[in-house]
Amino acid sequence: MSPSRATLIEVATLAETSKSSVSRFFGTERNKLSPALCERIERAAHTLGYRPNLMARGLKGGGSRLLGMLVADIRNPFSVALVHGVEQAARAQGYSLIVCNTDNDPALEQTQLATLAAYQVEGLVINASGQPEAPLQTLMHSGVPLVLLDREVNQLKADVIGLDNAQAIDMALDHLALQGYRSVLYVSESPTQASTRQARLIRFKQQARPRGLTRRTLLLDSLELEAVMPTLKAFAQSAGPTAVLCGNGNVTLALARGFQRLGLAMGQVGLMGIDELDWCALIAPGITTLAQPTDAIGAAAVTCLLNQLKGTTPATVIHRHAPRLLARGSTQRSPTLSSFTPEQANNP
């Protein structure tokens, strides 16, 4: 009834050879086989529809060819872009990716980590939501290669790959200053858990004044409109040409809502965000953003992982990637009167 999957041995029998040879054929030693045998095996495998059982392979030293990835929030488009980059790079190297979402829940994160480990992944890409220092320490100690993506974990001495946050903040401030804004409000979600948020916030505090900008910050536990409005309202009425800088995509969304609710004209009050989103070019007059090179970051993570696996360090992996500035109308103080089009908005 159910002709459950063919096995190595069945192929061997049909090809009139031994399991060793068939194993070699599907492994890395195909060149050690005579052309004749190769062809017999090929044919047998094909008629039986044979596919190696990766579980069995993973069991015996051959390696599971599996990479694990932990994502803090799979519904965040930025995270998804990272997943996409990592998956693509992994596939290119012959690895599969098992993705676990933690929904920003540190407890769930621990569970998922255990699960990933249980599947004998050969390497782990971690976009942490909490600070799972202990379990990761254990994992590293037991020889599992490990790369942190976007966010660091406290004391953990591991490779971290992500945006060059300092450069990003600098670029943002330079752009805002150049556009004539004199006072900047930096809005971020609570930076206690995520290293990236801290790094950006600190850099902002250091670098605003040297550029002649008055600075102010707003740290949010919730992105509800109610949490945003009072500060935004007060800030919009304060002195000097003012601009708001958003620490990530979610914040940009929240503030775009805030602007709309207050009837603020983007540009007149500047609005700029880190992370590029589908709709940023769409909302008139277009929201200026710093786009992260997510595919490159994902690929770098995989490269880094495989380097660790091989023990070699052939190509240097770039840990801090530069963002790309997409300048649009939301940081232009006096809008050109020509009608706005997405095309114009997409070009810096």
Binding site for its own copies (CB under 8 A): 2-5, 49, 51-56, 58-59, 64, 66, 74-75, 77, 80-81, 83-84, 87, 96-101, 114-115, 117-120, 138, 141-143, 225, 253, 256-257, 260-261, 263, 277-279, 282-284, 339-343
| Residue 61 binding: pick among its own copies, DNA, none (C-beta 5-8 Å cut-off by kind) | DNA
How would DSSP label each residue in 161-205?
EEE-HHHHHHHHHHHHHHTT--EEEEEEE-TTS-HHHHHHHHHHH
Judged by CB under 7 A, the stretch of 60-68, 125-133, 179-187, 338-346 that binds DNA is 60-68
Phi/psi at 148 (nearest 5 deg)? -95, 135
Cα–Cα distance measured from residue 82 to residue 139, given in angstroms and rounded to the nearest whole number: 22
336 binds, among its own copies, DNA, none (CB under 5 to 8 A by kind): none
How far is 59 from 52, CA to CA, in rounded Å?
Answer: 13
Rule CB under 7 A: say whether 74 interacts with DNA: no
Backbone φ and ψ of 108, nearest 5°? -60, -35
CA distances from 231 to 116, 180, 208, 237, 333 (A): 43, 22, 19, 10, 21
**59 touches DNA (CB under 7 A):** yes
Q: Using the rule CB under 7 A, is 61 a contact of DNA? A: yes
DSSP per-residue string spanning 252-297:
HHHHHHHHHHHTPPBTTBEEEEES--GGGGTSTT--EEEE--HHHH
Residue with smaller CB distance to its own copies, 266 or 317: 266
- The distance of closest approach from Cβ of residue 281 to its own copies in the complex, given in angstroms and rounded to an integer, is 8
Instruction: Check residue 208 and report its DSSP letter.
Output: T
Q: Interaction with DNA in 17-56: which residues (CB under 7 A)?
A: 17-21, 23-24, 26-27, 32-34, 36-37, 50-53, 56
Task: Say if residues 318 and 162 touch (Cβ distance below 8 Å).
Answer: no
In whole angstroms, the minimum distance from the beta carbon of 215 to its own copies comes to 27
Give the nearest distance from C-beta 110 to its own copies in angstroms.
12
Residue 27 contact among its own copies, DNA, none, beta carbon within 5 to 8 Å by kind: DNA
What are φ and ψ of residue 135, in 5° steps? -60, -40
Query: Which partner from the list its own copies, DNA, none does 178 bind, CB cut-off 5 to 8 Å by kind?
Result: none
Q: Which of 181, 241, 188, 253 is nearest to 217 (CA)?
A: 188
Taking the complex as a whole, the smallest distance from the CB of residue 101 to its own copies amounts, in Å, to 6
**In angstroms, what is the minimal distance from the CB of 93 to DNA?**
17
Shortest Å distance, C-beta 230 to its own copies: 16
